[in-house]
A and B are shown apart, each in its own frame.
Chain A
Amino acid sequence: MTGNHTIPGDDQHGMDCDRCREAMSAALDGESDAAEQARVDAHLDGCAACRAWRRDAETVTRRARTGVAEPGPDLVALVLDAAPGPRARWRGTAARAGLAVVGAVQAVLGLTSLLGASMQHDAMADSIVVLGAGMAHATHESAAWNLALGVAFLAGALWTRHLAGLLPALGAFIAVLAVLSGIDLLAGRVEPARVVSHVVLVVGFVLGIAVVRAAPRSGPAPTPGGRWWARGEGPVAPHGAPAPDAARWERESDVA
């Protein structure tokens, strides 16, 4: 930074002409570096060519900024058709509302089978035990899973940001369940009405995809990746419990 020795006579001021002109150019754009300015001034004291260049550069800049400012055509009417239509506005909302309804239905189905299983299970002898679970426990497990999916749909409708993460698991579940349901239906091991109730899952899956596609921007989320910050106090030690209303979630992606 202290001169360019290929240009004798310029480096004694700590800056060669090229560097000086680059710094003057930045200064003309309001992007100057205060530390550099002193060396620029020192160079200018001894360099008439750079003083002339600065005057010329100012003139040229003014001409370039003002001389080419002819207005362009108004394109608003021509290009507006390419913009997302009003459908985009309600598509996401409708999909979320639908997902919430599906979640509620699924949760009710799960609760119903949970209650049904509890009521029957006194009367039912566990004659069949598979992999350590009797019929009653297998039914409980399936009911819990159905209830959980209902809650997951509801949560996904509320916090769209995390919905995408649910979809692969749900897709796998639906695919496996579809195959098994088909086999069980053919073998007469399940009533058609029970299989029809699985359609709720498929509808939820499709709506989930629609919500994810309609809201590419980060939607609301409970932010597991976030850190708990006290307002104005910086990071809080894990054991220091801040008052909930004096703190906020801050995502790393928001900070960056």
Chain B
Amino acid sequence: MDDARITELALRARDGHRDAAGEFVAATQQQVWRLLVHLADAAVAEELAQETYERALGSLRRYRGEAPARNWLLSIARRVAADHLRRRARRPVSPAEPAEDDRPVGRAPRPDPAESVAVRDALDALDGDRREAFVLTQVVGLSYEEAAAVCGCPIGTIRSRVARARADLVDALSEPPAAERPPRSG
């Protein structure tokens, strides 16, 4: 669904059309989910996605349609994730996160193929800014320009962060017999 349509849905939702609000959530929730899985982790992504939509829908009355609604929503999701990480950092470290429901504590809510685990581990190991730029552009599927708008930084910053994230992933994911690989220069 294109940005103009999503923005239109947000504006209609703001004017009290619940069906438009539902469509807006349905059209954007996979991207919000993917972003949050990677910026925080899958165990809390659902909770954070819910918080994102509650914040976004609750503040729709102040949304003026000046920025595309998807970018606006993703920047809210980004703030929700940052708030979560800050809260978690402030809490004393506990040996295991208490599970509040019956979902197993861990990265993924459902069994994951090994491939996916390896990629996710490599992504999780990235530096925060690089991971954010990489996830926004590769997993969420934004252009560099849109990612820059969501992060509030120049396009060139996104470009170099994505490249560095890629380089880190190449190092982490390329086949194990490292001795055979040409040494990374540059």
Interface residues of A in 61-77 (CB under 8 A from B): 61, 63-65, 67-76
| A78 at interface by CB-CB < 8 Å | yes
Give the segment of A24-32, A118-126, A170-178, A231-239 that binds chain B. A24-32
| A137 at interface by CB-CB < 8 Å | no
Most chain A CB neighbours (cut-off 10 Å) among B49, B115, B185: B185
Interface string of B148-186 (1 = CB under 8 A from A): 000000000001101100110110011000000111111
Contacting pair B54 A82 (CB below 8 A)? yes
Query: CA of A16 to CA of B30 in the docked complex: distance in angstroms?
Result: 38
Interface residues of A in 1-59 (CB under 8 A from B): 7, 10, 16-18, 20-22, 24-26, 28-29, 31, 47-50, 52-53, 56-57, 59
Give the segment of A83-91, A109-117, A204-212, A221-229 that binds chain B. A83-91
Query: CA of A25 to CA of B163 in the docked complex: distance in angstroms?
Result: 5
Residues of B contacting A65 in the complex (Cβ-Cβ under 8 angstroms): 138-139
- Within 8 Å by CB of B144, from A29, A56, A63, lies A29
Contacting pair B18 A64 (CB below 8 A)? no
A interface size (C-beta, 8 A): 55
| A188 at interface by CB-CB < 8 Å | no
- Within 8 Å by CB of A68, from B16, B38, B61, B65, lies B38
Contacting pair B53 A82 (CB below 8 A)? yes
Residues of B contacting A169 in the complex (Cβ-Cβ under 8 angstroms): none
Give the segment of B21-29, B83-91, B93-101 that binds chain A. B21-29
Chain A nearest Cβ from B40, distance in angstroms: 13
Contacting pair A22 B160 (CB below 8 A)? yes
Residues of B contacting A69 in the complex (Cβ-Cβ under 8 angstroms): 34, 139
Residues of A contacting B173 in the complex (Cβ-Cβ under 8 angstroms): 59-60, 63
Contacting pair A49 B186 (CB below 8 A)? yes
- Within 8 Å by CB of A83, from B60, B115, B134, B139, lies B60
A10-B186, A79-B54, A84-B15 known; A68+B110 contact, CB < 8 A:
no
Query: CA of A52 to CA of B119 in the docked complex: distance in angstroms?
Result: 20
Contacting pair A70 B182 (CB below 8 A)? no
Contacting pair B29 A84 (CB below 8 A)? no
Chain B nearest Cβ from A64, distance in angstroms: 5
Residues of A contacting B61 in the complex (Cβ-Cβ under 8 angstroms): 84, 88, 216
Residues of A contacting B163 in the complex (Cβ-Cβ under 8 angstroms): 21-22, 24-26
Interface contacts beyond A25-B166, A68-B120, A79-B54: sample of 5 additional A-B pairs, CB < 8 Å, sorted by A: A18-B186, A20-B186, A60-B169, A67-B113, A87-B16
What residues of chain A have their CB less than 8 Å away from a CB belonging to chain B? 7, 10, 16-18, 20-22, 24-26, 28-29, 31, 47-50, 52-53, 56-57, 59-61, 63-65, 67-76, 78-80, 82-92, 216-218
